[in-house]
Structure 1
Amino acid sequence: MIKSLSLFFFITISSLVISQSSAIYEQRLKNYDVLSYEFSIDLDKYSDTIHVEEIVHINIKTKNTKVILDLINDNGKGGMEVSSVEYMDGPHEFISPSSNWSHKNNILTLPYVPKIGSLMYKITYKGIPKDGLVISKNKFGCRTYFGDNWPTRARNWLACVDHPLDKAKVSFNVYTDTVNQVIANGILTSVKMHGADKIKYSYATSYEIPTKVMVIGVASFKVENVADVGNVSLSSWIYNCFSSEYDKKSFSDLKMSYEILPYFINKFGDYPYKKLANVQSTTRFGGMENASSIFYDENMVGSGKMEALIAHEIAHQWFGNTATEHDFTHLWLSEGFATYFTDDYLGEKYGKNRMDTRLKNERNRVISFLKKNKLPVLDTITSDLMNLLNPNSYQKGAWVLHMLRDKVGDSSFFRGVRTYYQTYKWRNAKTNDFKVIMENECDCSLDTFFNQWLKQSGLPIIQATYAIEKHLYLTIKQHQKEDYNFPLTIRVYYKNGKYNDHDIFVDSKTKGYVIQAKGEVLKIELDPNTKLLFEERRLD
C-alpha cells in the first residue's frame, strides 16, 4: 500500500479508525474459524444504500461458543442495519430463530447453536457504509464503488471477522446498473442479466485471504487483457472517459506489470493467484494491494510515474496478502518487504546507483520521522492503526532487510525469504518466525540484529573524527541513547585522487581505530556503499 496525500486529511477527521487487540481475535480463532464468505450485494444508482445477503460458513471448534462478527451499527449517520439472521447446521433449509441474536456496539452476535463442526449462517442487512466501501464519483463525474478495507474497515459494510488472523475464502455477487463493470477478488464465474436494468457479476476465490484485501470495484471501465504470464491472466482496468489519448497513456502505465510480475515470480516463487487485475480507482490510497485486484489512485494512472508503485503493490501479493502479518504490530513484514523489493527490482533494472539513491532517500525519511516519533518498528504503543503507515513500517523496514542481506549474504538472504514465504503461504507470521528462518539459513544468531533494529526506537547517530600522524587515527562516537553495534565502511580519499575502503566494526559508544594511510589524506566518507541506516553528526 502507498499512501496518498488525501490520507492525512482523512486521519484528522475520521472517527472510525479502531485500535485492535490481537488477543481478542486470537481467542475467537481458538473458538471458531470462518471458512468462507459469500456476499450478494445489490447497488442502487440513485442511493448510497446497499442491500447485502451474506452466507458465512464457520467451523465451530469449542463447546458453548457464541460466534461474533464485526459490523458497524447504523446510528442514524450511516452504518448497517441487520434485519434477519438464519442458520443451517446440515443439508436442510435455513432456520430463522425468533431471537437469540443481537447487533449492538458494532458487534453482531449470531444465534447460539450447541454443536462443534461446520455451521452456516445467512445474514441480511442494509445501510449506507460509513467507510470501507467508498461510494463517490470519479474525476470524470461517473458514479463508482470501491472496497477500501485496510486496516479494519471491512466491518463498515461487511459482517466479518475483521482481522488478518482469520483468513477465509470469499465470493461476491454484485448487482449493478448495466453501464458498469465489476472487478473483485478471484475469478469471474458468471455474468448474467438481472431483470431489465441490472447485471449480476459473480467472482470467487479458491484461496483464503484476510478481510483487509477483500474488495469489489464497480464503475464504467475499459478493460485491456494484457497477456498471460504463465498461467496468470493479466488485465488493466481504466475509467471509460472516451479519450483515446488518455486510454493510451493509462493502459501504457498499467502494462508495466507485464515486466514486473515475472521478476517477482523468479525471486519468490509462483504468483499465488490466477489473475492480476490492475485497476484505476477512486479511494484514499495511492495504491492498495487487494488480492489479485490491485487498486491505484485515479490521478496516478496515466501519469507516467507508476513503475515503483506497481512494483510495490505486486510485491504485496506475496508479502501481506498470502504470507500475512499476525497483527499490525508486525506490519513491516508487509510494507517493509514491499518497499525493499521495489528498491531491489529498480536496482536490478536500472543499476546500483538507482537503488542507492532510493535507499538514501528512505534513510532521510526515517531520520526525519524518528526525530519526532520515538517509536520502534515493532510498535505496540500506537493505537490508531492508520498512523502505522509511517517510515518505520515502510522505509525502516526496508532498511532492516537491506542490512540483513548484507549481514548474511545474497544467497542466504534470498533463500531465507523464499523459505519464509513458502512456510507462511496462506498463513500468518510474526517477526520472530521470520528471524528463526533466517537464522537457519545463515547458521547464525540474529538476536542482537533484530532486537536493535526492530525493538529499539532510534538509529545510530555517528560522529567521526580523525587525526593524521604516521597513521590515520579514527574515533567513532555514537550519540544516540540506545546501544547499537554494526559494521561500517570508511572510505579514505587522498589528494592524489585515489581512495581506499576500510571495514571496521563498531560495538561501543566511543571507539578508536588505526588505519594505515596510503598517501596524503583529503577527507573520509562513512558508508560509501550505502549499507547502514544511520544519521551522521558532523563537526561544525
Structure 2
Amino acid sequence: MFLRSRLRLASSAAGLVTVLCGGVAGAAPAPGAAGVGDPYYPNAGNGGYSISHYNIRLTYNPATDLLSGNTTILATATQDLSSFDLDFLLPIKSLRVNNFLAQTRTAAVGEVVVTPQAPLVKGSNITIVVEYAGTPSTVKDATGFTAWKKTPDGALANDEPDISPWWYPGDNHPTQKATYDVSVAVPNGTSVLSNGTLVSTAPQINGWTRWNWRSTKPQASYLTYIAVGNFEIRNAVATNGQRIITAYSANLGDNADAAKASVERTGEIIEFESSVFGDYPFEAQGGVVSPGINFALENQTRPVYSNAFFRAGANTSVIAHENAHQWFGDSVSVQAWRNIWLNEGFATYAQYLWSEHEGEGTAAEVAQYYYDLRPADDPFWQFVVASPGAGNEFNNAVYQRGGITLQALRNKIGDDNFFNLLKTWTSSHKYGNGTIEQFIALAEKISGQPLFDFFQTWLFTPGKPAGGIGNPATAALSAKVAKAKPKSVDQIDLTHQILATESHH
C-alpha cells in the first residue's frame, strides 16, 4: 500500500546528511514508539517527536473522490530517533525528512514507519513532507471501518475518535495538538469548510477554486476536519467581535429552516456558555449542517451537525452541547480516551444549564428527571462511566449519568464552589489535557471537602446511587418532574439518541 523510496549516497555525502538532519546523532538512536500509550487504542499517536504545525495542501474532486496533494509537518525530536511512525491510511507517493527522501514501510494498518537517511538528534527540528493520493472512501482501518463520508456533492472528513488518517498523515491522539493551515482546491461552485478562520479563496486554472483556512490555537487531530459540497455560507459577527461562519448543505430538505433557526444562535449560546465556563478559548465560531452523517462532532471552532437533529424543529440543545465541547474536549482534551466523561458529561450538563437559561426547566429539574427516569435495575445504571472501555466511550450513560453526576456534585459543594471549579478547570488546563483524577483533586481543593467516596459512587461503581442527587428538596422535585417533565427534555432526548451513535469503532 505504501511505496518505498531509497536514495544511496556516497560516504562523503552521508556526513552532510547527518548535519542537515540535526547534527551528530546520539549514541544509540532508537525507533519512536508506535503509540502514546493510550490503553484503549495502543497505536494512537506516536512517540519520539512532537508536532507543532501542519500545512495541508490538497486537491479534491467530488466526482471521483480523488484526494491528492501534500502535507508538510513541522516537528521536534524528543529523543534520538532512528525511525518514527506516522498515522496514515492513504498511499504515499514520496516522503522527505529535512529535504531528503526517506524510506517508508507499513508496520500495521494505518501505521507508517519512516526511516530517515540519518538519525535525528533529540531537540532537533524536523520538516516532513508527504506527497500522496487516493480515494479515502475506499480505504479501511484495521477494524474494516471507513471514517471518510462520501456525499452526493462532496465529502465529510468528520469522525471521532479517528478521522485524520483518511486525509492527512500525522500524530493521531488528543494529547498531540498543533496549529493548522488547511488548503483545498475544488471545482468552482463547490465549497470547503474547515476550522478557524477563512484566510482566502483563490481562483485556479481550469475552473477550480482553492479555499485556505487557518487554526492558530492548539488543536487535536480528530477535531480537524473538512466539509466539501454545495453549501450556503453565512457570515456574522459575535458580540466579542469574532467572525461567525455557518454553512448549510443544499440537501437538507424540510429540515433546512429548523437547522438555520438553531445554528444561527451559535453566537448567543457561546456568549452564555462563556459566562459559565470562562472566556471562549478560540479565534472563531460557527457550525456546519450536512446530511452526510448521523451524529454531531465538536470540530474546533465549527461543529458539524447531522440534519437529523432538526427533524422535529429547531434544536438549540445540541448547539449548546457541541459548543460546550469547545471548552470541555477541545481546549481541555482528554489525556486518554478513558476520561471521556470530562467531555461528554460536561457537554450534557451544558444542555441542562441552557434549559434553565431558556426557562424550559432548571438544571436541577432536568437532572432529577433523568435520575428518576430509570429504576435501579435498569442496565443503564450498571455502566461504569469512568471506565467505559474501548468502543463504548459514547454510551448514553456517559452522557446522562455523567450530566446527573455534575448536578449531584453541584448540590454537594454548593453553587459558588461548583462554578468556580468549572472556570478554574478550563483555565488551568487550557489548550492542554486532563484526567478524571485531576478533576477530582481540583474539586476537593476548591470545595475543601473529601470527595473520593462521592466520585467513587457516581463514576466508578455500577448501580444507581442511593439517596438521589443530594438535593434537599428531592421528594418535591421528583413529584414535580413526574407530573410535568421539563420542556427541554424532548430536545435533549433527541440529541442524545443521535449522539449515542457517535462512536463507530
TM over 0.5: yes
Match for residue 110 of structure 1? Answer: 114
CA distance in 2, matches of 1:43, 1:258: 31
State the Cα deviation string for residues 323-345 of structure 1 (Å, max 9, x = none).
Answer: 11111111010000000011112
Alignment pair present for 1:224 and 2:224: no
3-state SS of 1:43 partner? strand
CA distance in 1, matches of 2:312, 2:41: 43
CA distance in 2, matches of 1:195, 1:221: 22
Alignment pair present for 1:66 and 2:83: yes
Aligned partner letter, 1:36: H
Match for residue 233 of structure 1? Answer: 243
- Max radius of gyration: which structure? 1
CA distance in 2, matches of 1:36, 1:69: 14
Root-mean-square deviation (Å): 2.9
Match for residue 127 of structure 1? Answer: 134
Alignment pair present for 1:156 and 2:166: yes
What fraction of aligned residue pairs are identical, expressed as a percent?
19
Native 8 Å contact 1:188 1:202 kept in 2? yes
Match of 1:309 among 310, 318, 321: 318
3-state SS of 2:399 partner? helix
Native 8 Å contact 2:364 2:407 kept in 1? no
State the Cα deviation string for residues 301-355 of structure 1 (Å, max 9, x = none).
Answer: 575231101111111111101111111111010000000011112112215x354
Distance 1:285 1:424, change over 3 A: farther
Distance 1:456 1:225, change over 3 A: same
Match for residue 350 of structure 1? Answer: 359
Native 8 Å contact 2:203 2:209 kept in 1? yes
Match for residue 395 of structure 1? Answer: 400
Give 1:237-316 correspondences, 5 Å limit.
237-240=247-250, 249-301=258-310, 304-316=313-325
Match of 2:205 among 190, 195, 215: 195
Alignment pair present for 1:101 and 2:116: no
3-state SS of 1:51 partner? strand
Aligned partner letter, 1:45: P
Match for residue 458 of structure 1? Answer: 463
Native 8 Å contact 2:376 2:463 kept in 1? no
Match of 1:363 among 371, 374, 377: 371
Aligned partner letter, 1:374: Q
- After TM superposition, give the deviation of residue 219 of structure 1 in Å: 1.3
Distance 1:446 1:247, change over 3 A: closer
- After TM superposition, give the deviation of residue 402 of structure 1 in Å: 0.6
Distance 1:85 1:252, change over 3 A: same
CA distance in 2, matches of 1:242, 1:373: 37
3-state SS of 2:410 partner? helix
List runs of 5+ in structure 2 lacking aligned partners. Answer: 1-36, 140-145, 482-505
- After TM superposition, give the deviation of residue 163 of structure 1 in Å: 1.2
- After TM superposition, give the deviation of residue 260 of structure 1 in Å: 1.0
- After TM superposition, give the deviation of residue 361 of structure 1 in Å: 4.7
Match for residue 167 of structure 1? Answer: 177
Native 8 Å contact 1:37 1:171 kept in 2? yes
Distance 1:111 1:42, change over 3 A: same
Distance 1:104 1:376, change over 3 A: same
Aligned partner letter, 2:127: M
| 31-40 vs 169-178, greater mean Cα deviation | 31-40
Q: Which has the higher strand share?
A: 1
State the Cα deviation string for residues 214-273 of structure 1 (Å, max 9, x = none).
Answer: 001111111222332212212321124699x97655432322223211101111222112
Native 8 Å contact 2:246 2:288 kept in 1? yes
Match of 2:339 among 315, 327, 330: 330
Match of 2:437 among 432, 435, 452: 432
CA distance in 2, matches of 1:438, 1:242: 43
| 269-278 vs 411-420, greater mean Cα deviation | 269-278
- After TM superposition, give the deviation of residue 49 of structure 1 in Å: 2.3
Match for residue 45 of structure 1? Answer: 62
3-state SS of 2:217 partner? coil
| 353-362 vs 424-433, greater mean Cα deviation | 353-362
Match for residue 95 of structure 2? Answer: 85
Alignment pair present for 1:321 and 2:321: no
Alignment pair present for 1:136 and 2:146: no
| 205-214 vs 360-369, greater mean Cα deviation | 360-369
Size of the alignment, in residue pairs?
433
CA distance in 2, matches of 1:26, 1:145: 24
